[in-house]
Amino acid sequence: MENNFQKNINFKSLKKEEKAQLKRRISNSVYSYIKRRRLLKYGVGVTAAAVVTFLSIGIFNSQMPQPSPIEVFAKTAEDLESSNKVQLVLSDDHNVEITEDDSAISYSSTGEQVQIGNEKSVSQKTSQKDQPVFNTLIVPFGKRSEIVLSDGSKVWLNSGSKLIFPAHFSKNKREVYLQGEGVFEVAHRQNQPFLVKSEHHEIEVLGTVFNVSNYKDDPAIYTVLQSGSVQINVTEDKLFNAQKHIVITPGTLATFDKDDRAIKTESVAIEPYFSWRDGVFIFKNDSLKSIMKKIARYYNVEIIINDKNLANETFSGYLDVKESIEHVMETIKATESSEFEYQLTQNNQLIIN
């Protein structure tokens, strides 16, 4: 029906014959509409569906979180080669190799001066073309390091870890990117949250002490809170990149499964997650294979357990990993109910039978 016809009709004043005529016209219009819909079903209908689908994809894409500059930089830093020494990569790819056993690193408040150990000091620019300068601390297996960032926050990095951070933080927020394991003692700044980023995972704090472990060969990211409060933001849904936020309290372990992206929490004794800073491993009913995985990283050796039953047996106790690996293995043998032998080969393998 024509729009003008619709607008000009006074339905209350129509006579019986006029109403019948109008009814026929409406019926004919409905019939014509249905006929046109059938003809266009596989033409315009498909096109319309495609338009709707395209618009839906556009909406979902617009809702996906955009990567921050440090996440973009982290992709380029994946190719940085690791040696058997602790390395600090500064601006302009200036690589400082740290040979001292005590590899403590400290940044000035501006980030322009970096003190390495007791004797070495280097300088750098903290911005390039109004963009932040990112530094990378690479700790190989068998080494540990600690660093004081420009805001005063302290980070202890375990073996086989990599920390990416700006030489000087922005005014709005403090972001770092972690691969491996680190204990963070974050300087409190009420209006400048501290973010520890990993793929699909982010820890947001203002000032607190916590441990986060995110090794590539582990199935999950583990966060343990010692003091304060942190919020963990994760990308939970693979299809729509839905975000989930949880807040944990001291004494809580949060486990984020990398594969199905589910996160769960539980109460734990926190000491085993922080003791490695002091050269001590604490275990409570942990399987021998999980213990050996940590020892392999700490001493940079490949460990092979040739007995499945032995690999699954549990162990509780303290290990002083400031000692040699042979001393550690003898300690395990002395406290383990099962008997086993081990051999340390020339090609850096430790074989347990």
Whether 17 has a pLDDT exceeding 80, the answer reads: no
List all residues 6 or more positions away from 143 whose beta carbon is below 8 Å from its beta carbon.
Answer: 84, 85, 86, 103, 159, 300
**Model pLDDT, residue 21:** 57
Q: Verify that 30 and 165 share a domain, yes or no.
A: no
Q: Verify that 12 and 122 share a domain, yes or no.
A: no
Cβ pair 348, 302 in contact under 8 A: yes
Q: Tell me the pLDDT tens digit for each residue of 300-309.
A: 999 999 999 9
CATH number of the domain that residue 329 is part of: 3.55.50.30
Q: How many residues does the chain have?
A: 353
Q: Verify that 103 and 31 share a domain, yes or no.
A: no
Q: Verify that 242 and 137 share a domain, yes or no.
A: yes
The rounded percent of the chain whose pLDDT value lies above 90 is 59
Q: Verify that 318 and 267 share a domain, yes or no.
A: no
Q: Verify that 99 and 194 share a domain, yes or no.
A: yes
Q: Tell me the pLDDT tens digit for each residue of 42-77.
A: 444 443 333 333 333 343 343 445 778 999 999 887
Q: Verify that 191 and 45 share a domain, yes or no.
A: no
Phi, psi of 195 (to 5 degrees): -120, 125
Q: Verify that 83 and 54 share a domain, yes or no.
A: no
Q: Verify that 27 and 112 share a domain, yes or no.
A: no
Query: What domain range is 348 assigned to?
Result: 279-352
Q: Tell me the pLDDT tens digit for each residue of 289-302.
A: 999 999 999 999 99
The 3-state DSSP class for residue 290 equals helix
Q: Verify that 127 and 249 share a domain, yes or no.
A: yes
Whether 154 has a pLDDT exceeding 70, the answer reads: yes
Structural domains in the chain (count): 3
Rounded CA gap, 130 and 218, in Å? Answer: 37
| Helix or strand run (H / E) with residue 239 | none
Cβ pair 340, 352 in contact under 8 A: yes
